[in-house]
């Protein structure tokens, strides 16, 4: 029994010793995600992030179905994320070069919250074909964009048709946002 107890104590001691390392890795991931969302990375850094994600080498970020019926590919961060003045533990990847912080808002408030966020960021305008999307497809939402230097585009997206109750804000690198 003493040998079993010693093994348990050894495992417990190892867990305690590794806790700061794991927390540090999660903090680093949260910072990288926030930098991605806020258009602070280079295209090379974004591509490296995507490669690490594909290889499941990123600690503290995991796919989740917490979005329910929303048509969002959500990932959940072990650490809360803060980007563009919003906080959430969820991010959405429309593509490997575009990432959005996704946060839940009360049903019916999505457009109001999205418009306020776009106004707070400043310099944003609707996508060029937004009126046609609404008229042709009956789409409900908003899609505001702001082009930044270095082939980066900030995007505020509210898609009440496919992701009710969610507002997303993020960045696309290169030609990720069409």
What distance, in Å, lies between the first and last C-alpha atoms of the chain? 65
Q: Specify if 146 maps to a domain.
A: yes
- Reported for 138-144, long-range contacts at CB under 8 A and 24+ positions apart, including other chains, are 141/110, 141/111, 141/114, 142/111, 142/114, 142/115, 142/118, 144/114, 144/118
Q: Which of 122, 120, 84, 119 is nearest to 103 (CA)?
A: 84
**Domains contained in the chain, number:** 1
Residue 44 maps to a domain = yes
Strands 61-63 and 166-173 turn out to be: unpaired
Domain that holds residue 163: 2-173
Does some domain include residue 178? no
d(CA 128, CA 55): 36
78 domain-assigned: yes
Task: Output the tens digit of pLDDT for each of the chain's 178 residues.
Answer: 565 454 444 433 333 433 343 334 447 888 999 999 999 999 999 999 989 888 878 888 888 988 887 888 899 999 999 999 999 999 998 888 999 999 999 999 999 999 999 999 999 999 989 889 889 999 999 999 999 999 999 999 999 989 999 999 999 998 877 6
Residues 26 and 41: their CA atoms lie apart, in Å, by: 18
Q: Are strands 74-83 and 86-95 parallel, antiparallel or unpaired?
A: antiparallel
**Does the residue 136 lie in any domain?**
yes
């Amino acid at each position: 029994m003493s040998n079993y107890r010693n093994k348990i104590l050894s495992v417990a001691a190892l867990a305690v010793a590794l806790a700061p390392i794991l927390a540090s890795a999660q903090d680093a991931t949260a910072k990288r995600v926030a930098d991605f969302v806020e258009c602070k990375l280079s295209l090379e850094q974004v591509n490296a992030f995507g490669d690490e994600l594909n290889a499941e080498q990123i600690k503290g970020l995991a796919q989740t179905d917490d979005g329910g019926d929303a048509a969002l590919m959500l990932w959940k961060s072990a650490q809360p994320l803060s980007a563009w003045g919003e906080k959430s533990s969820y991010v959405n990847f429309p593509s490997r070069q575009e990432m959005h912080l996704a946060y839940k808002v009360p049903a019916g408030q999505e457009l109001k919250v999205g418009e306020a966020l776009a106004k707070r960021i400043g310099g944003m305008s609707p996508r060029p074909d937004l009126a046609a999307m609404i008229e042709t497809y009956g789409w409900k939402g908003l899609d505001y964009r702001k082009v930044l230097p270095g082939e980066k585009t900030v995007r505020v997206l509210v898609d009440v048709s496919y992701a009710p109750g969610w507002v997303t804000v993020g960045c696309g690198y290169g030609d990720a946002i069409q």
